[in-house]
Chain A
Amino acid sequence: MSQNRPDQSGFQRWLLNWHIDAMLLGLIIMVLALGLFVLYSASGESSAAVSSQLKRITLGLVVMLALAQVNPDTFRAFAPWLYAFGLILLVLVLLLGDTAKGAQRWLDLGVIRFQPSELMKLAVPMVLAGFMHARTLPPKLRTIAAGSTLIVVPAALIMQQPDLGTALMIAISGGFVLYMAGLRWRFIGGLVLAGAAALPLLWSQMHGYQRERVLTFLNPARDPGGAGYHITQSKVAIGSGGLFGKGWLNGTQAQLDFLPESATDFIFAVYAEEVGLLGVLLLLVLYLAIVGRGLFISVKGQDSFQRLLAGSLSLVFFFYVFVNIGMVIGLLPVVGVPLPLISWGGTSMVSLLAGMGVLMSIHTHRRLLSS
């Protein structure tokens, strides 16, 4: 028996050889597996939806593992090129992108349709981390100003598509890099104030449906049949799930089509309805573990680039979780942010797993100095 047990150190060596972080991978697989079960239910027991999601997961995992093989220094070196390439694509999208659901986000590359904004989710924190890496930390005012420009330009382009949610996420990912770089608290406070002051400007730039979402968030009863319907039905789904849930495939809100977008942005409501608070806590623990592992990787990073990038990627991952769940439970306005690793469709699955790949790369390419 003991002879047949796989050689622990050999397995670890194999993992290290392929630059895989076992803990991160394990947590990711668990969330993905949960996600497939929820999706099967949320999609009305559609195996087609599950298999298309499986393809997307496979692609994401391949990208993740591929990126894990790349040395972080290479990321740092290529980040400016990636960023520049992304900017060009964003401009192209605005000029000749496909329109889906009233917004121009897609670029048809002949073989695959592609959202360049997803590329920027990696490129922005990377180029910013690289930029900070070359400077002394905490950053000076000039550095901050230059770094902010790196954030604002792509964010502004994405807002024109319009895709407020993604623009926000990209700005946040850059913001987390600045935060990890030691942006002084008074700057952070100033930014928050400036942000508050800029709200009217943001409001004037918003499209009608975006304003509608905000107004509805502030008062869901304003339009219970229309814009408030999502959030009302979502709260009913979650609340009726109770402590133990209605059981897998038995969530009436989701199964009877009362819950809109149940497989995509509102899939958390399906999950919460069917598995209850206990299942929700399990999912939150898994998410927290992933974020915690990411922050741990950040702390263990060997240079500023690695630490800032890993920190940003981890915090962005958490931000997705917080914004999506916050939206679904009525704490935040409805913005189109998917639930990480669970929501159906979109390129977010691939970009998030790619981020995980970068985390693995950072953690598994350490030169072991102290042994």
Chain B
Amino acid sequence: MAEIKSLKNPLAERQLTLFRAVIAGLGVVALTLVLVGRLLQLQVVDHDVYATRSDDNRMRVRIIAPARGLVYDRNGIVLAENLPTYQLEIVPEQVEDVEGTVTALAELIDIPDRDRERFYRRVDQEPGFRSIPLRTRLTPQEVATFEVNRQDFEGVEIHAALTRRYPLGRLAAHAVGYVGSLSETDVAALDPRRYRGTQRIGKVGVEAAHESLLHGDPGSKIIEANAQGRTLRDLQYQGPTAGENLFLTLDAKIQEAAVTALGQHDGAVVAVDPNNGDILALVSQPSFDPHLFVDGIDYVTYAGLNADPGRPLFNRALQGQYPPGSTVKPVMALAGLQAGVVTPRHREMCIGFFMLPDNERRYRDWKRRGHGLVDMHDAIAQSCDVYFYQLALDIGIDTIHDFLSGFGLGQALGVDLPGEKPGLLPSRDWKRATRNETWYPGETLNVGIGQGFMTTTPLQLAHMTAMVAVRGRGYRPRILAAKQLPGSEDVIEFEPTPVAPVHLNDPHYWDRIAESMEAVMHTAQGTATRSGADASYRIAGKSGTAQVTGLSQEDDEAPDLLDVPRELRDHALFVAYAPSDAPTIAVAVIAEHAGSGGRIAGPIARAVMDARLEPTP
């Protein structure tokens, strides 16, 4: 057997290899069927899955941010716009020697080190075909300089981008506001679909309050990109919808006049139209340059603004809560008439101070020698404190609270601007709830002359004055007058919102108070006769001088203004409306630590009213 096997047997060997070849052939077919099975699975069964993934690979959605709506004043003067700015960009892939190019560019255009660092950092991080900004905000001269030499700089280009600009700058920064980079809080609060691609959002002022109108809706573009992310072609395009243009109630001319009139004083000016609540001017000083935030504020500048003792970022017009002082006397007088505790002819003897029964404390009048025998008219015109001590005492704090609430004091008015503060209109309930203390009659006296616990914002004072001007009717203050849809010529005006009117038992009381306020401006005894002089229209006004600190009431000697440190000096306030027979403007002015309301704040209010009422020369 073994010998037979060791012999070569060609026929058997041939049979063997034939058999093996057939088996191999079957194996080949079987394995090929395995491949085919797998290909069937990939290309037929799971085709949809892979087709989708293939499309996901190549198609990218690029969001196109909408152009922000423009903001105009009531006369069509631009308050916020989008201006093209020019930036120098380099596509590293198209430049042979990036560093050499930057050096050469630096000889034509100033390139600060900070910009260079940022540029090189992005060059390292991003793909070479992407255009990377080297210098932003080129001046026209720089653009021209580059354009002349551009043939030497392949791969370097100037790109235009839209940036928010505020032509009035710091003049209207608190009213118009500004846009700034999205913060994490912003991102959490907003609709992610509308804000895909958006870099900046309104932070304060109108920009924040009417963000949803101004923003618009993003468009999108589906592009085909390769594995490196390079765009090859557009597959689909849907344009963005620009934001709506807004027309504000502000009047740039009045706003500027108010800023000029306030001058170097810290403080606020608010002017409203009593007939509809339109805010004509809203000034808070010191102010700031809104563009600082648009460009992205650096830490040092921001810390500086925050640390500034003048608090330039603080919007005094809405958030400053000041004692109203004597500016509250006209409505206090109305409260007395309405409550029936006095008649217009009722008189009080003013001897320069007032004392409660069984109490040694002297509540002083601003005029040490006293005003003598005064009726309501004299008390308002001369701002007699003693009269109002007695009046407040007679009315009672809770009735005062209820009546003055009708003029918007002690509550946020609901203006369409962010951050409005309510001020404080005290009452027995308030004191019990917040301090768990009973109310003392002396505290009522202080409220009677707009001091003590009572605080108001400049906006509230303007609103209160406006309501007096139009006999108790009133409108919620507003800054947005109308809007314009993108691409449309039509302007859609918003209706003013009336507030609950104040009804008096005898409407003639309004006339009594108006006459008294006119006397402030236009009679010899008035506290602001100089501010009312030479006006081509009649003004009704009221001065106020609010004490900042509790300078001792018992101190017989009224402190001389200049002996007191600035931060302890009185605030100068003034409220007024005009023309008194058909009012179209009501103003509230506060100049911090400026002293006498009649002397300092009165002329400021006059200048603001002139801007509205005097024909421009």
**Chain A residues within 8 Å of B, Cβ to Cβ:** 136-138, 176, 179-182, 233, 235-243, 252-253, 256-258, 272, 276-277, 280-281, 284, 287-288, 291-292, 295, 298-299, 301, 303-304, 307-308, 311, 315, 318, 322, 325-326, 329-331
Contact A299-B18, Cβ < 8 Å, known A137-B13, A315-B28: yes
B497 interface hit (Cβ, 8 Å): no
- Measured between C-beta atoms, what is the minimum distance from B53 to chain A in Å? 5
Contact A239 B35, beta carbon cutoff 8 Å: no
Contact A256-B227, Cβ < 8 Å, known A277-B44, A295-B25: yes
Contact A252 B58, beta carbon cutoff 8 Å: yes
A258 to B60, alpha carbons, bound, how many Å? 14
Residue of B nearest to A234 (CB): B42
**1/0 contact trace for B1-42 toward A, CB 8 Å?**
000011111101110111011001100110110111011101
Contacts A256-B227, A292-B25 aside, 6 further interface pairs with beta carbons under 8 A come to: A238-B42, A239-B54, A277-B44, A288-B28, A304-B13, A308-B17
Contact B228 A257, beta carbon cutoff 8 Å: yes
Q: A303: which B residues are within 8 A, CB to CB?
A: 10
- Enumerate 20 A-B pairs (CB-CB under 8 Å) in ascending A order: A179-B20, A181-B17, A182-B17, A241-B43, A242-B47, A243-B44, A256-B226, A256-B227, A277-B39, A277-B44, A292-B25, A295-B21, A295-B28, A298-B17, A298-B21, A299-B21, A307-B21, A318-B31, A322-B32, A329-B39
Contact A318-B28, Cβ < 8 Å, known A238-B50, A243-B44, A256-B226: yes
Closest 6 CB pairs of A and B: A239-B50, A240-B54, A256-B226, A257-B227, A239-B42, A277-B43
A236 to B42, alpha carbons, bound, how many Å? 8
Contact A277-B40, Cβ < 8 Å, known A136-B6, A239-B47, A311-B24: yes
Contact A326 B51, beta carbon cutoff 8 Å: no
Contact of B14 among A179, A253, A295, A307 (CB under 8 A): A307
- Measured between C-beta atoms, what is the minimum distance from A335 to chain B in Å? 16
B225 interface hit (Cβ, 8 Å): yes
Residue of B nearest to A182 (CB): B16
- Measured between C-beta atoms, what is the minimum distance from A270 to chain B in Å? 13
Contact B24 A179, beta carbon cutoff 8 Å: yes
Contact A235 B17, beta carbon cutoff 8 Å: no
Contact of A137 among B16, B36, B55, B58 (CB under 8 A): B16
Q: A242: which B residues are within 8 A, CB to CB?
A: 43-44, 47, 51
B614 interface hit (Cβ, 8 Å): no
A298 to B21, alpha carbons, bound, how many Å? 8
- Taking residues whose C-beta sits less than 8 angstroms from the other chain, chain B's interface range is 35 or more
A308 to B29, alpha carbons, bound, how many Å? 20
Contact of B21 among A180, A233, A235, A238 (CB under 8 A): A180
Contact B226 A257, beta carbon cutoff 8 Å: yes
The A-contacting residues of B in range 161-195, CB under 8 angstroms, are none
Residue of B nearest to A183 (CB): B20
B46 interface hit (Cβ, 8 Å): yes
Contact A235-B50, Cβ < 8 Å, known A136-B5, A138-B16, A299-B21: yes
Contact A236-B44, Cβ < 8 Å, known A295-B21, A307-B17, A318-B28: no
Contact A291 B28, beta carbon cutoff 8 Å: yes
Contact B50 A240, beta carbon cutoff 8 Å: yes
B57 interface hit (Cβ, 8 Å): yes
- Measured between C-beta atoms, what is the minimum distance from A12 to chain B in Å? 25
Residue of B nearest to A138 (CB): B16
Q: B24: which A residues are within 8 A, CB to CB?
A: 176, 179-180, 295, 311, 315
A177 to B228, alpha carbons, bound, how many Å? 47
B224 interface hit (Cβ, 8 Å): yes
The A-contacting residues of B in range 205-249, CB under 8 angstroms, are 224-228, 232
Contact A180 B20, beta carbon cutoff 8 Å: yes
B562 interface hit (Cβ, 8 Å): no
